[in-house]
Amino acid sequence: MDVDLLFIPLNMVQWKECSSRGFIEPNQHEDSKYIYSIEAYTPSVVEEILNFKFIDQNDLLLILIDPIRITVPIKSELNYLKPNTEEDSFGNSKRYQVVHLQGKISIDAVIDRIPIQKDVDGLFHVHIETID
């Protein structure tokens, strides 16, 4: 994968839990045998996904991940996402390129955390400048 940064949106409670454990891990339901992954987003789609999927949040931490520091398998694919407020239906879903981190990732892969809040219009804004 040819991406310099990955973004994982977390709320403050989630970040504190991950920070105290020393790793970020996929959510998994106790009764499920399905292998979950951590959803991460590239700079090109992160703002749009924040304003679609995380519509129920007012403030988040964007956890910046260095892909070179990730030791678990990484898989990028088109997925249907739905807002966190929606039930399990495809009625209000959109297709996005999502990066799946397939396992626990160490806090050592985190290079920064950026608090973001919605503006007066109720939208998240993420401005990313890259220097080559």
pLDDT tens string 15-53: 999 999 999 999 765 555 566 899 999 999 999 999 999
Q: Report CA 88 to chain centroid distance, whole Å.
A: 19
Q: What is the mean pLDDT of the chain?
A: 88
Report the pLDDT value the prediction gives residue 117, as an integer from 0 to 100.
94
Report the pLDDT value the prediction gives residue 114, as an integer from 0 to 100.
94
Mean pLDDT, to the nearest integer, of 64-69?
95
CA distance 44 to 49: 10
* Percent of the chain with pLDDT strictly greater than 90: 71
Report the pLDDT value the prediction gives residue 27, as an integer from 0 to 100.
75
Report the pLDDT value the prediction gives residue 127, as an integer from 0 to 100.
82
CA distance 27 to 8: 13
Which is it for the CA torsion 60, 92, 34, 102, positive or negative?
negative
- Domain boundaries 6-27+35-117, CATH class: alpha beta
Give yes or no for residue 93 having a pLDDT over 80: yes
